[in-house]
Homo-oligomer: A and B are copies of this chain.
Amino acid sequence: MRKLPIDESLSYIEQYPISQYFSFDIVPFIHVYEFDKGEFIFHEHSIPDYLYYMVEGKAKLYITHKNGKISLIDFITAPTFMGEMELLNAERYSKGIQTLSKSVCFAISIQEVKEKLLADPVFLKMLCLFLSHKATTATAKYTQNQAYSLENRLASFILLSSDQQFYKEKHTEVCDYLGVSYRHLLFVLAQFSEAGYITKQNRGYVLTNRPELEKLAAEITY
């Protein structure tokens, strides 16, 4: 993590407007940080000092269980806030957030502006919408996880995350995200290959029978 020099910082602040979320001038309170790929924005069980607004990059939000299993709660993509729950103090200790690519974040010192933020209707309204949306998608994901087998969920995930008929997510992340073992993920992936729905190529898979994948995914959607 490194703090960007003034001129670069200002350029980011100009490029990614954040003022709309506040009814007072937030710019004086912003520090711009850059995180390398793989760096932690929040360590698990830490007490965050900053509310972040990620403007570039990708990260994963996860928790580690006592038995060693990891639940990848969400893939986080810019633009988004991070640490808002901790700001609210509803949850004192943070979950973990680790970047998946080089990321740029606006950091706002909680200590400096907590009071102002929690009395700012513009910020609070945005935050309500954000939290509500986050809760809705999380609930959808988790209830589906327990109502459908991996076959359906993986088909759905492949369709959502593939880019131009090409799927290349990391197995190690996907199994934590879908809540199954690495072994089982590979097993179902092999089934899909076997059935000709996908075909291994280089470091990923080409979708070779999209309609069938869509049929499997459609069993979930309501």
| Contact A139 B222, beta carbon cutoff 8 Å | no
Question: Can you list, as one digit per residue, whether each of A75-117 has a CB less than 8 Å from chain B (1) or not (0)?
Answer: 0000000001100101100000000000000000000000000
A26 at the interface (CB under 8 A from B): no
**Which residues of B lie under 8 Å from residue A124 when comparing CB positions?**
121, 124-125, 127-128
**Given A119-B121, A125-B118, A125-B119, A90 contacting B132 (CB threshold 8 A):** yes
Interface of A, secondary structure class, is helix
| Contact B221 A71, beta carbon cutoff 8 Å | no
**Given A119-B121, A124-B128, A128-B127, A69 contacting B136 (CB threshold 8 A):** no
| Contact B121 A85, beta carbon cutoff 8 Å | no
A129 at the interface (CB under 8 A from B): yes
| Contact B142 A220, beta carbon cutoff 8 Å | no
Known A90-B129, A146-B146; further 17 A-B contacts with Cβ < 8 A: A65-B148, A65-B222, A66-B222, A67-B147, A71-B143, A85-B136, A90-B132, A91-B136, A121-B121, A121-B124, A124-B124, A128-B131, A138-B139, A139-B142, A142-B142, A142-B143, A143-B179
